[in-house]
Amino acid sequence: MSTTLGVWIAAFLTLCILSFLYKDNPFYKFAEHLFVGTSAGYWAAYYYHNILKPNLYVPLFKEGKLLYIIPLALGIMMLMRLWPRIGWISRWPLAFIVGTYAGYNLITYLQTNALAQVKATLTPFTDVSRVILFVGVLTGLIYFFFSKEHRGIFGKAARVGIWFLMVAFGASFGYTVMARVSLIIGRMMFLLKDWLGVID
């Protein structure tokens, strides 16, 4: 069994969270709130050390790059959202963020998630699997096309599209199970190995 205080604290907190499996209780609530608090504190420390200091404080106040007053001002305007009366000021920096993202998304999504995917689907049909891939993508897109009623051949194609989507959802479910199981294995390994020392 571990003799390290940190391991005991971690084990106690792990058990606090796992106690929720029995029912909601004060130990779980304590751990839950501590989690939210330490997470927010962790991020705040990183904002300071990894961004505000090297990318804003040093260029603006040590290197004298006055142009950095603009992001500083916009950043402070963003914080105005905390006060409802002057919250509208935060729209300026928000507009900058939304506009930048919109500009990026317009191009990158079109290129990476639409055009490149269409191109990869339209490869020579060298085997049956490639034909299946093509049919799946086409019928799946037909299913998502709601401007025409899903009837007749169009409706049948949409139905084939649903089958492909169902297989994809099934695969996603299988992988989700795998992910969640991995997480509990990780915690059990910690309890059995690092805390109790019953496995190598």
Partner 1 sequence: MRHQIPLIITFVAGITMIVQYFVPHEPFAALSQQFRIWFLIIATFAMILGVGNIIKIHVERISRARPGWGYSVILLAGLATTAISGIGWGIQPGTIFFYLFWNLLIPLGSTMFALLAFFITSAAYRAFRARTAEATLLLAAAIIVMLSRVPVGTYLWDRFPIVGNWIMDYPNTAGQRAIMIGIALGVVSASLRIILGIERTYMGAGK
Partner 2 sequence: MSIFERLTRIDRRIIFCTVALAVIIPLLRPIGFPVSVSPSVKKLYDAIEALPPGSRVLMSFDYDPSTMPEVYPMNFSIAKHCFKRGLKVYGMALWATGVSLGQDALEKAAKQYDKAYGVDYINLGFKAGGIVVISAMAENVVETFPEDYAGRSVGQFPVMKGVRNFDDFDLIVDFSAGDPGVIQWIMIAYGRYGKKVGAGCTAVSAPAFYPYLNAGQLVGLLGGMKGAAEYEKLMDYMGTATAGMDAQSVVHALIVFYVLFGNAMYLVERRRSRRNRL
Q: Give, as ranges, the residues between 22 and 61 that touch partner 1 (CB under 8 A).
A: 29-49, 51-52, 55-56
- 168 is a site residue for partner 1 (CB under 8 A): yes
199 binds, among partner 2, partner 1, none (CB under 5 to 8 A by kind): partner 2
1 binds, among partner 2, partner 1, none (CB under 5 to 8 A by kind): none
Instruction: Compare residues 75 and 199 and give the one whose CB is closer to partner 1.
Output: 75
119 binds, among partner 1, partner 2, none (CB under 5 to 8 A by kind): partner 2
Tokens of 82: 């905390």
- 78 is a site residue for partner 1 (CB under 8 A): yes
192 binds, among partner 1, partner 2, none (CB under 5 to 8 A by kind): partner 2
Instruction: Compare residues 58 and 95 and give the one whose CB is closer to partner 2.
Output: 58
Cα-trace Rg, the chain: 27
Instruction: Compare residues 181 and 192 and give the one whose CB is closer to partner 1.
Output: 181
What is d(CA 107, CA 50) in angstroms, rounded to the nearest whole number? 29
Instruction: Compare residues 103 and 155 and give the one whose CB is closer to partner 2.
Output: 103
What's phi and psi for 199, nearest 5 deg? -125, 155
What is d(CA 106, CA 115) in angstroms, rounded to the nearest whole number? 12
- 2 is a site residue for partner 1 (CB under 8 A): no
What is d(CA 154, CA 139) in angstroms, rounded to the nearest whole number? 9
Instruction: Compare residues 4 and 176 and give the one whose CB is closer to partner 2.
Output: 176
Do 3 and 191 form a contact (C-beta atoms < 8 A)?
A: no
What is d(CA 200, CA 192) in angstroms, rounded to the nearest whole number? 9
